[in-house]
Homo-oligomer: A and B are copies of this chain.
Amino acid sequence: MGSTYGKIFNISTFGESHGSGIGVVIDGCPAGLEFDSDFIQQELTRRKPGQSRITTQRKEADEFEVLSGVFEGKTTGTPIALLIRNEDQRSKDYSHIAAQYRPSHADYTYQEKYGLRDYRGGGRSSARETAARVAAGAIAKTLLKGIGVRIQAYVSQVGAMRLEVPYTELDLSVTESNAVRCPDAEMAGKMFDYIDTIRKQGDSVGGVVNCVVQGAPVGWGEPVFDKLHAELGKAMLSINAVKGFEYGSGFEGVALLGSEHNDPFYLEETGQVRTRSNHSGGIQGGISNGEDIYFKVAFKPVATIMQDQESVDQHGDKAIVQGKGRHDPCVVPRAVPIVEAMAALVLADFYLRNLSAKVPG
């Protein structure tokens, strides 16, 4: 249970870090959507390991195969299944931790919940699963692009190094031009060096990814439980290593007064209703209001480090977990496409849900 997301644009992912492969079934993608293989591959490549020396050196081509749901270059309305084979499995690397509980990993909780676990590379709990999300998210992005919705994420913080400039003053088109995926080149350089230092120490550090959605129409999101930001929050918090989510004014907005925080409405010359400020982050009452949707996602330092750590094993004995293998010293550069993918999946679902909001016609 728990590997399925979305009410209409519904995805089910499967696969483990060191099994045959990972994949996704999308049930609910409308028919007639252009299936853009190149774009899906491009998104997977943004996420894949080994992009620079500050990401894990695991070797994966992350090429996907279409198993179903596409015919003559278009989606058919029936389930789209995509499969990404695992190549660099190296199961031997993990035999030494078969019985050990790595600190702040899912080893202990999986073992207790299920009575057994695939210990190779974290099995199902590995962030490798997010490749399937990125593939599905690319299809959701294609759907959204057709109605002018654009989703852009970027790294705003690494460790304590924070980019204080709001997104409205950044050129997000340059995000992809550096390995950190921070749209401020100078800051990106500092962040890169810092991550590289951490890497050499065999340690890891956290970071923050910001995301901006532009072009979403008014009306996406549902009252009460399935508010747009509630689903965005769930989607982001479901990404490995995420510890927090905020949208619009977020935690800082708490200290404002209502008279400062409220976003006054005004009319554009076109007659379009707009707000003068956007503390609401583009969402009011859980429903998009046509302004930019923006939010932040906090990632902890990844748990895999190249240092010895105190722990216990499955047999109830003390253990020392040794730092071996490959790891990402800071996950946020590779998390950027994952955050975008999850945002796309949430928005595509609300787009389709909203088609039945009013009596049709």
For A300, give the chain B residue with the smallest CB separation: B253
Of A40-48, A185-193, A353-361, the one with at least 4 CB within 8 A of chain B: A353-361
Q: A246 in the interface, Cβ–Cβ < 8 Å? A: yes
Q: Which residues of B contact A80 (CB under 8 A)?
A: 14
Contact partners of A275 in chain B: CB under 8 A: 103
* A95 close to chain B: CB less than 8 A: no
Residues facing B in A337-355 (CB within 8 A) are 352-355
Residue contact B207 to A16, C-beta cutoff 8 Å:
no
> Max chain B CB contacts within 10 Å: which of A227, A267, A354?
A227
A66 to B225, CA, bound (A): 22
Number of A residues near B (Cβ < 8 Å) is 153
Whole-angstrom distance between the Cβ of A286 and the nearest chain B Cβ:
7
- In the assembled complex, the CB of A326 is this many whole angstroms from the nearest CB of chain B, namely 14
Cα(A281)–Cα(B242), bound, Å: 12
Query: Chain A 66-103, CB within 8 Å of chain B: the 1/0 string?
Result: 11110110101111110100000000000000000101
Contact present for B258 and A316 (CB under 8 Å) = no
Are A67 and B23 in contact (CB-based, < 8 A)?
yes
- Residues of B within 8 Å of A30, CB to CB, are 356-360
Alpha-carbon separation in the docked complex, A251 to B243 (Å): 7
One of B118, B257, B287 near A76 (C-beta < 8 A): B118
Q: Does A146 contact B (CB under 8 A)?
A: yes
Residues of chain B lying within 8 A (CB to CB) of residue A307: 259
Contacts of A31 in B (CB 8 A): 113-116, 357-359
| Max chain B Cβ within 10 angstroms of own Cβ: one of A12, A105, A260 | A12
Task: Judge whether A165 is part of the interface by a CB distance below 8 angstroms.
Answer: no
Residue in chain B with minimal CB distance to A232: B237
| Also in contact, A225 and B114, with CB within 8 A (given A15-B81, A207-B254, A257-B204) | no
B104–A262 touching, CB < 8 Å? yes
A237 touches B243 (CB 8 A): no
B112 A219 Cβ-Cβ under 8 A: yes
Note all chain B residues with C-beta closer than 8 A to A123: 71, 76, 78
Closest Cβ of chain B: how far from A124's Cβ, in Å? Answer: 4
Q: Are A25 and B12 in contact (CB-based, < 8 A)?
A: yes
**Are B15 and A27 in contact, CB atoms less than 8 angstroms apart?**
no
Q: Is A53 located at the chain interface by the 8 A CB criterion?
A: no
Q: Bound state CA distance, A10 and B271, in angstroms?
A: 36
Collect the chain B residues with CB atoms within 8 Å of residue A101's CB.
Answer: 265, 273
Whether B32 lies near A114 (C-beta < 8 A) is yes
B12 touches A223 (CB 8 A): no
Name the B residues within 8 Å of A33 (CB-CB): 359
- List, in ascending order, chain B residues with CB within 8 A of A206's CB: 253-256, 261
Tell me the nearest residue of chain B to A260, going by C-beta: B301
The residue from B115, B237, B261 contacting A233, defined by CB atoms under 8 A apart: B237
Return 17 A-B CB contacts under 8 Å, by A number: A2-B225, A3-B225, A4-B12, A13-B79, A76-B123, A106-B285, A110-B223, A113-B218, A159-B257, A204-B259, A205-B257, A206-B255, A244-B244, A244-B251, A258-B302, A264-B309, A267-B316
Can you add 14 more A-B contacts, CB < 8 Å, to A71-B116, A104-B284?
A3-B223, A12-B79, A67-B83, A76-B124, A110-B285, A112-B218, A113-B218, A204-B257, A226-B238, A238-B286, A246-B251, A250-B298, A256-B301, A264-B309
